[in-house]
Every structure is written in C-alpha cells, then in structure tokens.
Amino acid sequence: MKILPAVIAFIEQRHPKFLSAMKGLSDDDIAALFANLPVSYVEFLTLMRVDSNGFSPSGPTQDYHFSTIEKRLNDYKVSGDFYGHIIRSVFYYFGLRDLEARSEIHVHKPDIYQDVLSLLLSMGLMPAMPLLDDVSCLQGGPLIIMLEADDIKGMLTLNFGSRDPKAVKTLRQQLLTNPLIQSK
C-alpha cells in the first residue's frame, strides 16, 4: 500500500511550500539502518528526517532526527502502526489545527468504526488519505473529519472541523442524532 505519497499530496494541497524546506536522508544513511527499521519508517526518514521544516509528528518533545536515531537505535521502539501515526499527525497539523470551528465526538463503541465510516461516506465525504483499519481522514464540501478507533481505550473518536462554523454545528447535530452514534 502506497500511503506516503497520499500523505505528501495532502500536505502539498494545504501548504505547497512546506515540503520543499525538508531534507530527507541519503540512501547510504538509510541502508545503514534498514535492517533494524520497518519499511514505513524508512520511507518517512527518506522524506523528512534531516530537516522536517518544524513538523514533528509526535509533538515538539520527540526527536526523530537521524543523528538521534543512530545514537539510540537499540532503545528505539517504532510502533507497528507507524502509517496510522503519521496520517493522524499530518491530518491534524495540516488539516484540523488552524480551523476556526472544530468539534469532537467520543463514542464508547470502537467496534462500530466501519459502520460509522460507511455512514460518513454515504453523507458525501471522501477519503483525504488512504483509509486504514483504525483511522480514516475524510473531506467533503467545507468539512474535514478524522475517524479513529482505539480498541485499548474502548473509544471511537470523530474529530472534525471547517472554516464554516455552521457546517460543523450541522454535522455534529446529524451525527449525535444518528442511532448508530447515540449511546445505547
């Protein structure tokens, strides 16, 4: 599955000059680490880990730079869901973060993820990035929405926003009155 190109396209749509300020690792640098890192992380390093233009997918306290990874390689634990982590982070940073109107709905039923995704797609929202088993980023009209299932916390989260507060309010009302999302 080619996820990183879709993530790059999403960033380019919203901040066209951002990627030009990044500097990825060389093939030689990556080859030295390749045996110890998942393919998803290698792709990520190739794109942005010498200089990520200020974007830190795990927040400002996490350091993913090559020199740090080299020093701490034996201690580094890379999540098996690295693509999901990157998609969540990019969608928030380049999509939701600066919107004037945002809303969040939490449902204590993570097992309805696919049903809620189908509902959102039937409402005309379209994938903004590849759909994963536990995270989907959608857009339609003035709205963008991230749907996340967290089986560990037992939570389904819908995080959405728009520059149009009325669109956010309307979607929130539609979702909260839908029997699928209402608490049982």
| 126-183 residue pLDDT tens | 999 989 889 999 999 999 999 999 888 899 999 999 999 999 999 999 999 999 887 5
Q: How confident is the model at residue 79, as a pLDDT?
A: 45
CA-based nearest residue to 178, from 98, 118, 103, 97: 118
Across all residues in the chain, what is the average pLDDT? Answer: 81
**Single pTM value for the model:** 0.71
93, 163 Cβ separation under 8 angstroms? no
- Mean of pLDDT values over 20-28: 79
Question: What is the chain written as a DSSP string?
Answer: ---HHHHHHHHHHH-TTTGGG-BPPPHHHHHHHGGGS-HHHHHHHHHHSSB-TT--TT-TT----HHHHHHHTTT----TTHHHHHHHHHHIIIIITT-SEEEEEEES-GGGHHHHHHHHHHTT-EESS---SSEEEEEETTEEEEEEEETTTTEEEEEEEES-HHHHHHHHHHHHTSTTTS--
Using alpha carbons only, give the angle 66, 67, 73 rounded to the nearest 5 degrees: 80
Tokens of residue 172, six digits: 């929130």
Give the range among 9-23, 24-38, 88-102 with minimum mean pLDDT. Answer: 24-38
Tokens of residue 119, six digits: 């509902």
| 109-119 residue pLDDT tens | 889 999 999 99
Give the bridge partners for 136, in sequence order: 147
* Domains detected in the chain: 4-72 (no CATH), 99-176 (3.30.310.50)
Q: How confident is the model at residue 21, as a pLDDT?
A: 83
C-alpha distances in angstroms, 104 versus 28, 68, 113, 137, 168?
43, 35, 15, 14, 10
pLDDT above 70 covers a percentage of the chain that reads 72
Radius of gyration of the chain (CA): 18
Task: Please tell me the total number of residues recorded for the chain in this structure.
Answer: 184
